[in-house]
């Protein structure tokens, strides 16, 4: 059932460049689902913020919740490669216990180590599908795997218009 989920890549008018710290979530990604997701720090306070924090807030406040396709880089980590990522934005309705939206990126790459506290750069290029509640955990797991396959297939070899957003690798 989950595999029949309709996916299209709806390109954003201009890619969204998001830069923020990787924070801890519920620890559910790897443990329960088998997919680690790097959760982006979001500043929920009102008032003035640094430009990067403001950009993340604007993104979650104005964009549809759902699954997005992105390019991603842990610029200050041991592995600063630029990789494709399937990004979940919203409420994780399958679990239904979030008090705030999250932005979580599953980078389609095997990292040798965790990168909590590092800076994640996300260039969000398109919308894939809405977030859903599934009949079972297996349904959600199958959908996430298929999202990864979809993003892997739909994005090219390298970001086309990153405008110098990604930091050059050493
Ligand atoms: P949490 O709920 O704390 O986000 P997860 O189980 O989702 O826990 O694991 C996420 C962490 O795993 C990330 O913050 C990152 O440090 C690490 N990680 C390792 N490989 C990846 C990857 N390919 N994509 C995303 N995060 C990864
Ligand atoms: N959570 C949902 O509740 N419904 C979804 O449809 C959903 N799709 C996801 C797709 C991808 C590619 C990723 C990485 C996550 C998705 N999630 C979804 C979020 C998932 O519940 C969350 O990453 C884990 O709970 C760990 O925080
Ligand atoms: Mg996570």
**What pLDDT, on a 0 to 100 scale, did the predictor assign at position 36?**
97
Ligand 2, pocket-test mutation among 29, 92, 130, most atoms within 8 A of CB: 92
Question: Has residue 170 got a pLDDT over 60?
Answer: no
pLDDT in tens, 24-54: 999 888 888 999 999 999 999 999 999 999 9
Longest dimension (CA), the chain: 45
Categorize the per-residue pLDDT at 4 as very low, low, confident or very high, splitting at 50, 70 and 90: low
- Evaluate: CB of 16 within 6 angstroms of ligand 2: no
Between the CA of 48 and the centroid of ligand 2 the distance, in Å, is 30
Categorize the per-residue pLDDT at 9 as very low, low, confident or very high, splitting at 50, 70 and 90: very high
Between the CA of 165 and the centroid of ligand 1 the distance, in Å, is 22
The pTM (predicted TM-score) of the whole model is 0.96
What's the average model confidence in pLDDT over 103-125? 97
Between the CA of 162 and the centroid of ligand 2 the distance, in Å, is 26
Residue 169 or residue 2, greater confidence: 169
Question: Has residue 137 got a pLDDT over 80?
Answer: yes
| CA dist., res. 19 & res. 29, Å (int) | 21
pLDDT in tens, 89-110: 999 999 998 999 999 999 999 9
Question: Has residue 153 got a pLDDT over 80?
Answer: yes
Residue nearest atom 8 of ligand 1, based on CA coordinates: 27
What's the average model confidence in pLDDT over 123-143? 96
- For the annotated catalytic residues, the residue numbers are 104
Residue 25 or residue 162, greater confidence: 25
pLDDT in tens, 61-70: 999 999 999 9
- Evaluate: CB of 116 within 6 angstroms of ligand 2: no
| CA dist., res. 141 & res. 62, Å (int) | 27
DSSP 105-149: EEESS--SS--TTSEEEEEEEEEEE-----SSHHHHHHHHHHHHH
**What pLDDT, on a 0 to 100 scale, did the predictor assign at position 160?**
83
Ligand 2, pocket-test mutation among 64, 144, 155, most atoms within 8 A of CB: 144
Residue 114 or residue 167, greater confidence: 114
């Amino acid at each position: 059932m989950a595999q029949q989920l309709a996916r299209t890549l709806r390109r954003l008018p201009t890619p969204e460049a998001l830069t923020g710290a990787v924070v801890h979530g519920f620890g559910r990604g790897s443990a329960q689902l088998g997919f680690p997701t790097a959760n982006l720090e979001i500043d929920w306070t009102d008032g003035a913020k640094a430009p990067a924090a403001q950009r993340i807030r604007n993104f979650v406040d104005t964009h549809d919740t759902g699954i997005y396709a992105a390019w991603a880089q842990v610029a200050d980590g041991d592995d600063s490669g630029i990789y494709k990522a399937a990004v979940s934005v919203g409420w994780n309705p399958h679990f239904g216990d979030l008090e705030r939206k999250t932005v979580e990126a599953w980078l389609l790459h095997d990292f040798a180590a965790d990168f909590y506290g590092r800076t994640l750069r996300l260039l969000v290029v398109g919308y894939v599908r809405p977030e859903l509640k599934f009949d079972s955990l297996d349904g959600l797991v199958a959908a996430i795997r298929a999202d990864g396959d979809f993003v892997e297939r739909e994005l090219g070899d390298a970001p086309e218009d990153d405008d110098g957003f990604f930091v050059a690798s050493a």
